[in-house]
Amino acid sequence: MQPTLVYAICSFNDIPSRQAIGFHLMVLEDDGNHRPWPVIVVRWGKKVLGYVNKCPHHSVNLDWEQNEFLDPNGIRLMCGKHGSTFELGTGRCVEGPCQGRALTPIALVVVDGDICAVGVHLAEDDA
């Protein structure tokens, strides 16, 4: 049985509660190639949620400016291009052109104060 892969993305305290931050990660494919993997990490109190930063409507990034992901009320993720809004807890589109579809979730855990991606092989930064 292969061990579960866990990669630290940032410190839990790097993201204020009720905020979302985007990260540009790289997935290491089985053939050794790297593939960009833009993700959104949301912290809501002690809970962390993650989604691929790609609107299901036209595959554009959600943020309209760097790290601007939440709607004006600060309670849903929002696509800056089309205005679609997504439930934080499920990623399901509740309003806009992609209604009924959902963001792609990513598995996150908090380990020793770090928010970590689980079950994906990331290319590590040697810097």
pLDDT tens, the chain, 127 aa long: 455 789 999 999 999 999 999 999 999 888 888 999 999 999 999 999 999 999 998 889 999 888 999 999 999 999 999 899 999 999 999 999 988 899 999 999 999 999 999 988 898 765 4
Domain 14-23+35-104 in CATH 3.90.550.10: no
Question: Could you tell me the end-to-end alpha-carbon distance of the chain, in angstroms, rounded to an integer?
Answer: 31
Task: Return all residues near 55 (Cβ < 8 A) that are at least 6 apart.
Answer: 61, 62, 79, 81, 82, 84, 98, 103
* pTM over the 0.95 mark: no
The reported pLDDT for the residue numbered 126 is 53
Contact call for residues 122 and 25 (beta carbons, < 8 A): yes
Any idea where the domains of the chain sit in the sequence? 14-23+35-104
The reported pLDDT for the residue numbered 127 is 46
What does the alpha-carbon distance between residue 24 and residue 118 come to, in Å, rounded to a whole number?
16
